[in-house]
């Protein structure tokens, strides 16, 4: 067996390793943004929003029967920024720690005499149509006159709908 | 007659190995595009939160002596169709020791049925 060219062989191995390393780094440095990847951020936003709504629909402790979300809708006390403050705290837009840059627009939907009506809760910004928003919803049972003021006081199910987008 | 030069065959062989390696790497990257598209789509289309939410609200209603002949039932079934595009139907049986409920959910892609008995 010829033992010529061993140095060349070592050089070849070294060259191959360098080429592999280069290719690996180049491939690792460029990430392809496929159309499907857009769903990943949507998914995260949806999870964040629905978790925040679930937290808002949980009573603070066992002696309080009604959740904050239910109280807000029953008393229509969301106008003064109560919904906004709570929601923004839970989605880490305000408060302590790292911040998100999320905007929202919240409504609740109810039924009155067979027609579906919607009432505005609160929003951080008006929708212009250019937003890439996701929708999260939460069912809440309230004891309320619906439509407000003119209906009969009864237990009703309303659907809280929040549009969320990053700005 | 010149002798066949067989120096540096190892270098050529290594070249082949590297090129095959790169080829397989490219194949894997190619596949990752498909995975990146279909997985989040599948997750986002599955109405996990909707199902949990509807199941939760119906159980809450049942525990407060709700039935299927009241306003809450009308609200849930009608608003589900109009705002969520989902057919929701349920029964509530108030028995002496516990509540029993059959919950049905269908949004055209996912069908969910639950047979629930409270303690």
**How many A-B residue pairs are in contact by the CB < 8 A criterion?**
118
| Closest-CA distance of chain A to residue B109, Å | 18
Place of tokens 């409504």: A107
Parent domain of A21: 1-31
What is the spatial distance between Cα B113 and Cα B58, in angstroms, rounded to a whole number? 13
DSSP per position, A74-134? HHTTTTTSHHHHHHHHHTTSSSSSS---EEEEEEEEEEETTEEEEEEEEESS---S----E
Say if the Cβ atoms of A8 and B8 lie within 8 Å. Answer: yes
Mean model confidence pLDDT for chain A: 86
Q: Do A136 and A66 share a structural domain?
A: yes
Closest to B14 in 3D by CA, of A24, A165, A94, A10:
A10
Q: Are residues A8 and A73 in the same domain?
A: no
Considering the domain architecture, whether residues A42 and A94 belong to the same structural domain is answered as yes
- Considering the domain architecture, whether residues A15 and A89 belong to the same structural domain is answered as no
At A114 the pLDDT is 83
A16 with A51, same domain?
no
Report residue B104 as tokens: 């049905």
- Residue A155 in tokens: 């237990």
Q: Which of A45-59, B42-56, B99-113 has the lowest mean pLDDT?
A: B42-56
Residue range B23-75, pLDDT digits in tens: 888 888 877 777 766 776 777 788 888 999 999 999 999 988 888 888 999 99
**How many structural domains is chain A composed of?**
2
Question: Do A26 and A46 fall within a single domain?
Answer: no
Share of chain A above pLDDT 70, in %: 92
Q: Which residue of B has its CA nearest to A12?
A: B11
Q: Which of A36, A42, A155 sits opposite B72 (nearest CB)?
A: A155
Of A9, A12, A30, residue with least CA distance to A20? A12
Is residue A26 located within the same domain as residue A42?
A: no
Domain shared by A42 and A9, yes or no:
no
**pLDDT tens digits, one per residue of A91-112:** 887 777 777 888 999 999 999 8
User: Residues A104, A162: one domain?
Assistant: yes
Work out whether the CA dihedral A94, A100, A104, A106 comes out positive or negative: negative
* A63 and A138, same domain (yes or no): yes
Residue A26 has pLDDT above 90, yes or no: no
Q: Using the beta-carbon criterion (under 8 Å), do A159 and B43 form an inter-chain contact?
A: no
Question: What pLDDT, on the 0 to 100 scale, is given for residue B29?
Answer: 80
**Could you give the C-alpha distances from A11 to A50, B11, B62, in angstroms and in order?**
58, 8, 77
Q: pLDDT band at B104, cuts 50/70/90? A: very high
Confidence at A149, pLDDT banded by 50, 70, 90: confident
N-terminal to C-terminal alpha carbon distance within chain A: 69
| Whether residue A10 is found in the same domain as residue A25 | yes
Closest approach of A124 to chain B, Cα-based (Å): 22
Kindly state whether residues A59 and A104 are assigned to the same domain: yes
Option in A32, A37, A111 nearest B78 (CB)? A111
Residue in A12, A20, A138 nearest the CB of B11:
A12
Where residue A34 falls among pLDDT bands split at 50, 70, 90?
A: low
Nearest CA of chain A to the CA of B105: how many Å? Answer: 15
């Amino acid at each position: 067996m010829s033992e010529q060219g061993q140095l060349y062989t070592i050089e070849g191995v070294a060259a191959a390793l360098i080429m592999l390393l280069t290719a690996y780094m180049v491939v690792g440095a460029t990430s392809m943004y496929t159309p499907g990847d857009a769903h990943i951020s949507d998914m995260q936003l949806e999870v964040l929003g629905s978790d925040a709504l679930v937290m808002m629909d949980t009573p603070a402790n066992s002696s309080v029967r009604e959740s904050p979300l239910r109280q807000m809708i029953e008393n229509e006390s969301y106008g003064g920024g109560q919904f906004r403050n709570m929601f923004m705290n839970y989605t880490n837009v305000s408060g302590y720690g790292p911040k998100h840059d999320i905007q929202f627009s919240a409504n609740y939907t109810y039924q009155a005499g067979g027609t579906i009506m919607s009432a505005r809760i609160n929003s951080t910004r008006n929708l212009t149509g250019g937003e890439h928003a996701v929708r999260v919803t939460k069912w809440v049972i309230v004891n309320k006159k619906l439509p407000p003021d003119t209906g009969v006081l009864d237990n009703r199910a309303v659907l809280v709908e929040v549009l969320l987008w990053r700005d | 007659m010149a002798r066949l030069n067989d120096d540096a065959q190892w270098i050529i062989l290594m070249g082949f190995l590297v090129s095959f390696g790169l080829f397989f790497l490219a194949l894997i990257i190619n596949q990752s595009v498909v995975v990146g598209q279909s997985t989040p789509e599948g997750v986002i289309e599955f109405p996990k939160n909707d199902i949990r939410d509807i199941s939760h609200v119906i159980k809450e209603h049942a525990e407060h002596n709700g039935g299927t002949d009241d306003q809450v039932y009308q609200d849930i079934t009608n608003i589900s169709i109009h705002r969520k595009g989902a057919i929701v139907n349920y029964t509530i049986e108030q028995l002496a020791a516990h509540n029993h409920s059959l919950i049905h959910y269908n949004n055209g892609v996912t069908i969910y049925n639950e047979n629930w008995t409270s303690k």
